[in-house]
Amino acid sequence: MAQFFTVHPENPQARLLKQAVQLLNQGNVLAVPTDSSYALVCHLDDKNAADQLRRIRGVDDKHHLTLLCRDLSELANYARVDNQQFRAIKQATPGPFTFILEATKEVPRRVSHPQRKTIGLRVPDHTVLQALLALHAAPLLAATLIMPSEDLPLNDPEEIRERLEHHVGAVIDAGACSLEPTTVIDMSGDETQVLRRGQGDPALLGL
């Protein structure tokens, strides 16, 4: 049975988020708010939790999962970026952008793309999620909370609990999120490409 943490969207209660971090450390998948939509998150180093996250989403190992980072210094530990890429990313973070980047050896091979050795990374602009990341003191592995065969992410915390109460350890309720996804920017090749246009304006990156 999933726990349900109702937190203030601008001043989240630390005691509740600490309980959520304990659940992450125990191998649970959580449903959390972000600056784009609700997402599923788990501990980066927990294979069973990552497998459970993929089962809920109905995706295989070729689906890019995303690392949610607190800031750019953390992002640089997990992705290889040159100075020009770093400056471009800095213009757009924190915010609703996901960057596809070449993964470093800090990223477990089982969570990077099996052929391309890439990973999605982003720095979210959401008070509750940033507070959770700070208490967790490490990036979280994430995927947008879209159910198999559905097109839109779940956005109502009560509905999320009702549908996933036997599949996630907790739902963090900070109110409704946007339903517009992140803009996905692929920087892993010779040329930077916009793979998906969402909330983030590619013009911030000169695209």
Does residue 121 contact residue 69 with C-beta atoms inside 8 Å? Answer: yes
- CA dihedral of 68, 69, 71, 73, whole degrees rounded to 10: -140
For residues 152 and 149, give the distance between their C-alpha atoms in angstroms, rounded to a whole number.
Answer: 10
Does residue 164 contact residue 39 with C-beta atoms inside 8 Å? Answer: no
Nearest to 36 by CA among 111, 94, 100: 94
Q: What is the pLDDT of residue 42?
A: 97
Contacts of 135 (CB under 8 A, 6+ apart): 14, 17, 18, 21
- Give the residues of the chain that fall short of pLDDT 70: none
Residue with tokens 């020009």: 84
Does residue 164 contact residue 56 with C-beta atoms inside 8 Å? Answer: yes
Helix (H) or strand (E) holding 206: none
The pLDDT tens digits of the residues spanning 78-100 come to 999 999 999 999 999 999 999 99
